[in-house]
């Protein structure tokens, strides 16, 4: 996909409307000057996207593991109560999430499917990187004290999403890189929104 359309000098899309800006010389300048840097960021983004994508495989509707014996997503969710990490969160899971488990399980599936989809292809990457950080924290609060868990798995996930956000990783070999330049001049709300979240 895009290998040459990079971040403009400024991150603020309104700056492109400013005639006093660098003007006709406003040629896109890469935030990451080295081709290797850009390739590495693209590989990291695709890898993180595939991580979410593959881990959807065991979140199986319609029961999501709720049964006898429990398994899958249901069992993981119950860890928030049986292996409590944070008391208010355990209370929330026990009182709200587990009684309405099917609804929350579908929400998890849709959010994580979107994380896999959007991060893999680099679309609206900065927004989905933030969602990925939030979702990682939720998972961490559920399973951190369960057997065989390692806190740094989750801290590393948070950090790698932070890196995707900070580098606007979808602009390198991602759809953001090709859509953003086409959307920058537009005044319609959808292209403007894409510019902001990419």
Partner 1 sequence: MKPWDPLDRAALVLGLVSIASAVFVFASGELEIVRVQVAGVVVASVLGLLAIAAGWLESSALAFAAGVLFLLAGVVQLVLLAGGSGSFLGGNSSTFSLWLGLGVGLIAIGMVPRPELAEESPSD
Minimal distance in Å, beta carbon 114 to partner 1? 7
How far is Cα 64 from Cα 66, in angstroms, rounded to an integer?
Answer: 6
Residue 4-23 contact track with partner 1, rule CB under 8 A, x = bound: xx------------------
Stretch that binds partner 1, among 9-17, 85-93, 148-156, 188-196 (CB under 8 A): 188-196
- Contact between 178 and partner 1 by CB under 8 A: the answer reads yes
Minimal distance in Å, beta carbon 43 to partner 1? 15
Nearer to partner 1, 8 or 49 (CB): 49
Which token pair is 181? 């330049």
Q: Considering only residues 63 through 82, tell me which ones interact with partner 1, judged by CB under 8 A.
A: 63
DSSP line for the chain: --SS----S-S-GGGGG-TTSSGGG-----SS-SHHHHHHHHHHHHHHHHHHHHTTTT--TTTTT-SSS--HHHHHHHHHHHT-SSHHHHHHIIIIIGGGHHHHHHHHHHHHHHHHHHHHHTSSHHHHHHHHHHHHHHHHHHHTTSTT--HHHHHHHHHHHHHHHHTTGGGSSSHHHHHHHHHTT--SHHHHHHHHH-
- Contact between 52 and partner 1 by CB under 8 A: the answer reads yes
Which token pair is 60? 């199986």
- Contact between 128 and partner 1 by CB under 8 A: the answer reads no
- Contact between 185 and partner 1 by CB under 8 A: the answer reads yes
Task: Work out which of 57, 69, 88, 147 binds partner 1, going by CB under 8 A.
Answer: 57
Nearer to partner 1, 41 or 179 (CB): 179
- The binding site for partner 1 (CB under 8 A) comprises 1-2, 4-5, 49-50, 52-54, 56-57, 59-63, 109, 112-114, 116-118, 120-121, 123, 175, 177-179, 181-183, 185-186, 188, 190-191, 194
């Amino acid at each position: 996909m895009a290998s040459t359309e990079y971040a403009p000098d400024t991150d603020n899309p309104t700056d492109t409307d400013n005639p006093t800006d660098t003007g006709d010389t406003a040629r896109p300048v890469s935030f990451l000057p080295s081709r290797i840097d850009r390739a590495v960021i693209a590989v990291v983004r695709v890898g993180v996207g595939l991580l979410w994508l593959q881990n959807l495989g065991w979140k199986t509707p319609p029961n999501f593991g709720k049964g006898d014996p429990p398994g899958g997503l249901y069992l993981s969710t119950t860890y928030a109560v049986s292996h409590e990490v944070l008391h208010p969160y355990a209370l929330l899971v026990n009182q709200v999430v587990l009684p309405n488990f099917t609804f929350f399980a579908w929400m998890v599936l849709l959010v994580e499917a979107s994380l896999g989809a959007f991060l893999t292809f680099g679309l609206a990457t900065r927004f989905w990187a933030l969602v990925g950080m939030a979702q990682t924290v939720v998972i961490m609060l559920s399973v951190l004290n369960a057997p065989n868990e390692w806190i740094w798995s989750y801290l590393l996930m948070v950090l790698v999403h932070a890196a995707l956000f900070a580098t606007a990783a979808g602009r390198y070999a991602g759809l953001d890189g090709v859509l953003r330049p086409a959307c920058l001049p537009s005044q319609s709300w959808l292209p403007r929104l894409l510019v902001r979240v990419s």
